[in-house]
Structure 1
Amino acid sequence: MNIENNHARHRHALAGCVMFIALLLAALGTLAEDKPRPRLTDDAVITTDGYRLPLSRWLPDGEPCRVVLGLHGFNDYRETFDNLASHLSADCTAFYAYDHRGFGGTADRGHWPGRARLVNDATNVAELLRARHPGKPLYIVGESMGGAITILTLAQDYPPPVDGAVLLAPGVWTRDVQPWYMRTALWLGIRLAPGLEIPNDLVDVNPSDDPDVLEYWQSHPMVIKRSRIASLYGVANLMDAALAATDHLQQPLLVLYGGADEIIPSGATCGFLERLAQTSADWRFVYYPEGHHQLTRYSGEDQTMADISAWLQSPQAALPFDGQLSLAEARDELCDS
């Protein structure tokens, strides 16, 4: 009798376990169904957590020959690429650019989203573009902060299927080359007043020599005019991480920098090139002596855009303008500046 009772109890326990597992699997399945799938619409990217990133597209007539994803810089937004994207779309290129979280037209404008979110979004959008344009070469163009995000995206253990990248004055101004007073101010600010907003014009630097671009930075409603200390601290961490991740880059790269850049110091770019030279990446460096930080939005923008277009068509081809420097030449030009 006891044996039969034990068997009955075991059967009931087993049935209970099976029921629990079935309910658990059903619940997990429901959660999986409720989780948004990343997707592209005509004017937005819907991310894995359901967040909406405003999207702009510049498409060629007919089937594109290649696809470019543009990642904008700090306090900027996606339409900053209009010059370059319009130029490239006339040259058989489909160009896409979205607003990073915390910038442009996103819901959390002015708030730093965190490095992981920025990289995850870039990864997801690159994968979506690859799926939308199968068989077409896919490149990233990253400007300033967008260049730092590009580096971190491509340096992952499992990077998205990108064929190469153009880095426009990449954000690699790390703490070890920043002035001591800047490091100290950030260290104190993040601890004492992370929400304090600093006017952008507190520091007299210009990203361009084009009066229209300078007016854009002063008055365009999508440009952030005051930066929270938490955001400044976040972008400083992002740049530190980008330089450290450079060791893991393997994709073809075109690095562009201007001699009149008032945002990213030449010493920071020099340090990045020294680090890049130790990798297996096939990289090329082009220097524009009169170039400003926004290399596709200044008086010499035609040179920059022609070089980018030529490189996208063939990363090994000769570039239209004679600005390419070897590492030794870049050291002479930048490292002692």
Structure 2
Amino acid sequence: MAPAFNAQNILIIAPDARGFGQALAPHQWSSTPRMIADAKEELAWVQQHWPHTPLYLMGESMGGATALLLAAQPSTPSSVKTILLAPATVDIGQPLQTILDGWTLLTPNKRLTGAHIPGHRRIATDNLAALRRMFFDPLTQHGTTVEALDGLTHLMTHALNDAPSVRTPVLLIYGSNDQFVPPFATRSLLQRLPSTVRFDSIDGAHHLLTRDKRGVSDDILAWMNNPEAFLPSGGDFAATQWRWLYETQ
């Protein structure tokens, strides 16, 4: 979605999270406090270089959980607006969390791939060209470790627990075909977030919303230009239906 943003004179800064891409300690999980601290430092760096420019913090999936945690920090200015794209805020609960913690103590570096996920193969996006690029990109991680999976579950739970403390304006976007973050997790997150959060449900969209061909960028730009206006995708009406469907089950 970068070209659509650039066409509106919006600069995108996309740093690699610690342990991912070309950042420090590739393929190694740091910790939730360290990831929050990194995000704080990046935010301060951007504010220093563009002090009079409106700033939006956008995170997708695991990055959405990190952005949510930063939005809940008392030190984060309320002028910073937050965009959460399919945020990963799943609490796996007990005894699964304790079992995973114990597995991490025994074999933290054991490799895991998509083959370890039971059931049918999950589709991350309808953008096949993007999937091909990611498959052949040497910086894309096609597997993980038990330690990283354990760390991710703690990050997701921490973000869910901190959701009531969010203090920045928020746009939360979720796709009806998301096969990675289940609907019950998003419902739980919405129940904990402040009522002022704008919820946008995009019909047919998948987990990787920045790649999907569903006009996600149009909704984001519309919200940035006028937070009170209806969203082009009709996500406001779909969100109302989504809430009714999952809150009456």
Fold equivalence (TM over 0.5)? yes
In the alignment, the residues of structure 2 paired with residue 312 and residue 167 of structure 1 have an alpha-carbon distance, to the nearest angstrom, of 13
Residue 335 of structure 1: CA displacement? 4.4
In the alignment, the residues of structure 2 paired with residue 326 and residue 218 of structure 1 have an alpha-carbon distance, to the nearest angstrom, of 32
Alignment pair present for 1:305 and 2:217:
yes
In the alignment, the residues of structure 1 paired with residue 145 and residue 79 of structure 2 have an alpha-carbon distance, to the nearest angstrom, of 33
Q: Are 1:260 and 1:290, in contact at CA under 8 Å, matched by a contact in 2?
A: yes
Residues 134-167 of structure 1: per-residue CA shift (max 9 Å, x gap): 2221111110111110111111122256521110
Deviates most, 285-294 or 215-224: 215-224
Equivalent in the alignment of 1:253? 170
Bigger radius of gyration, 1 or 2? 1
Residues 15-67 of structure 1: per-residue CA shift (max 9 Å, x gap): xxxxxxxxxxxxxxxxxxxxxxxxxxxxxxxxxxxxxxxxxxxxxxxxxxxxx
Equivalent in the alignment of 2:7? 90
Normalising by the residue count of structure 1, what TM-score does the alignment of the two structures yield?
Answer: 0.68
Q: Which residue identity lines up with residue 289 of structure 1 in the other structure?
A: D
Equivalent in the alignment of 1:296? 210
Q: Are 2:78 and 2:168, in contact at CA under 8 Å, matched by a contact in 1?
A: no
Residue 215 of structure 1: CA displacement? 2.2
Q: Secondary structure at the match of 1:167?
A: strand
Residue 207 of structure 1: CA displacement? 0.8
Residues 269-326 of structure 1: per-residue CA shift (max 9 Å, x gap): 00001111xx3x63111111201001121232xx211000111122222221211158
Equivalent in the alignment of 2:235? 323
Cα 1:325–1:240 change in 2 (3 A) is farther
In the alignment, the residues of structure 2 paired with residue 192 and residue 320 of structure 1 have an alpha-carbon distance, to the nearest angstrom, of 50
Q: Secondary structure at the match of 1:243?
A: helix
In the alignment, the residues of structure 2 paired with residue 285 and residue 272 of structure 1 have an alpha-carbon distance, to the nearest angstrom, of 11
In the alignment, the residues of structure 2 paired with residue 194 and residue 156 of structure 1 have an alpha-carbon distance, to the nearest angstrom, of 30
Deviates most, 145-154 or 318-327: 318-327
Identity across the alignment (%): 30
Pick 1 or 2: higher relative contact order, CA cutoff 8 A, min separation 6: 2
In the alignment, the residues of structure 1 paired with residue 181 and residue 207 of structure 2 have an alpha-carbon distance, to the nearest angstrom, of 7
In the alignment, the residues of structure 1 paired with residue 91 and residue 83 of structure 2 have an alpha-carbon distance, to the nearest angstrom, of 20
Point out where structure 2 has 5 or more consecutive residues left out of the alignment: none
Residues 172-225 of structure 1: per-residue CA shift (max 9 Å, x gap): 11123x9x6x64652442122111111134332221122223223433211111
In the alignment, the residues of structure 1 paired with residue 122 and residue 186 of structure 2 have an alpha-carbon distance, to the nearest angstrom, of 18
Q: Are 2:219 and 2:231, in contact at CA under 8 Å, matched by a contact in 1?
A: yes
CA RMSD of aligned residues (A): 2.1
Equivalent in the alignment of 1:55? none
Equivalent in the alignment of 2:88? 171
In the alignment, the residues of structure 1 paired with residue 246 and residue 86 of structure 2 have an alpha-carbon distance, to the nearest angstrom, of 13
Q: Are 1:266 and 1:335, in contact at CA under 8 Å, matched by a contact in 2?
A: no
Runs ≥4 residues deviating over 6 A = none
Equivalent in the alignment of 2:137? 220
Q: Which residue identity lines up with residue 298 of structure 1 in the other structure?
A: D
Equivalent in the alignment of 2:198? 284
Residue 336 of structure 1: CA displacement? 6.2
Q: Secondary structure at the match of 2:11?
A: strand
Cα 1:326–1:226 change in 2 (3 A) is closer
Point out where structure 1 has 5 or more consecutive residues left out of the alignment: 1-83
In the alignment, the residues of structure 1 paired with residue 239 and residue 6 of structure 2 have an alpha-carbon distance, to the nearest angstrom, of 32
Residue 334 of structure 1: CA displacement? 3.5
Q: Secondary structure at the match of 2:198?
A: strand
Alignment pair present for 1:148 and 2:62:
no
Cα 1:207–1:334 change in 2 (3 A) is farther
Q: Are 1:257 and 1:286, in contact at CA under 8 Å, matched by a contact in 2?
A: yes
In the alignment, the residues of structure 1 paired with residue 24 and residue 83 of structure 2 have an alpha-carbon distance, to the nearest angstrom, of 28
Q: Are 2:22 and 2:139, in contact at CA under 8 Å, matched by a contact in 1?
A: yes
Alignment size in residue pairs: 246
Deviates most, 290-299 or 253-262: 290-299
Normalized per residue, the structure richer in strand is 1
Cα 1:240–1:198 change in 2 (3 A) is same
Q: Secondary structure at the match of 1:254?
A: strand
Aligned match of 1:195 in 90, 99, 109?
Answer: 109
Q: Are 2:202 and 2:238, in contact at CA under 8 Å, matched by a contact in 1?
A: no
1:1-337 superposed matches below 5 A: 84-160=1-77, 162-176=79-93, 183=97, 186-203=100-117, 204-276=121-193, 279=194, 282-300=196-214, 303-325=215-237, 329-335=241-247
